[in-house]
Amino acid sequence: MDTQRPERPKPVTTEDLMRYLDGEVTPEERTQVEAGLTGSTELQRELAMYQSMKSDIQDLHFGPGSAQGSVWDQVNARLNRPIGWVLVITGLVIWMTYGTYVFATSSVSPWEKLGTGAIAIGVLMLLASVIWERLRELETDPYRNVQR
């Protein structure tokens, strides 16, 4: 006596349904899901609902609106900024070293050298404190790289 029964289709899982909906199934899996769909109106209804949702989302078709215009200029400026800074700082260091040497070896009276030196050092200290403060703020600034 033949005891073999017709093989029941493997139940279709929600993941199978998603892969089927998104066209990510192999031909075998497709056949299996379609067999499951044939036997279940509930599954058919669920698939129809997700298909409708999928097409509605795809239909959103939105454009850039006020975001139009490339960000390339801002990105490019940010990428090239470090080179500019290196050049400016190198130039400044050279000029300041040379200026200090010329001033220190000049025939100006020691009192004049002392007064001018104090002003120069004071200005540099103030500048350094402002830069230091700004650098500390930058650590927590989420928009530090954003240019408008």
Partner 1 sequence: MQRQLELELIRKCKAGQSRFYEPLVRAYEPAGIRLAIAMMGNAEDAKDALQLAFIKTYDTLPRFDLRRPFGPWFFQILRNQCRDMLRSRKAKFTTEALDEHLENRPEDAERGPERIQQRNEARKLLWRGLEKIGTEHREILVLKELEGFRYVEIAQILEIPEGTVASRLYHARSALKKALVDMNAEYP
Residues that bind partner 1 (CB under 8 A): 14-19, 22, 24, 45, 48-50, 52-54, 56-67, 70-72, 74-76, 78-80, 142-143, 145-147
How far apart are CB 140 and partner 1 at their closest, in Å?
A: 9
Residue 35 neighbours by CB distance under 10 Å: 14
How far apart are CB 32 and partner 1 at their closest, in Å?
A: 15
Compare residues 109 and 140 and give the one whose CB is closer to partner 1: 140
Compare residues 79 and 119 and give the one whose CB is closer to partner 1: 79
CA 59, distance to chain mean position in Å, is 27
How far apart are CB 46 and partner 1 at their closest, in Å?
A: 10
Token duo for residue 110: 């020691």
DSSP string, 64-98: -GGG-S-SHHHHHHHHHHHHHHHHHHHHHHHHHHH
CB-based contacts of 44, cutoff 8 Å, min separation 6: 37
Compare residues 21 and 120 and give the one whose CB is closer to partner 1: 21
Give exposure, 9-19, as e/b (b: 16+ Cβ within 10 Å): beebeeebbeb
How far apart are CB 133 and partner 1 at their closest, in Å?
A: 21
Compare residues 44 and 116 and give the one whose CB is closer to partner 1: 44
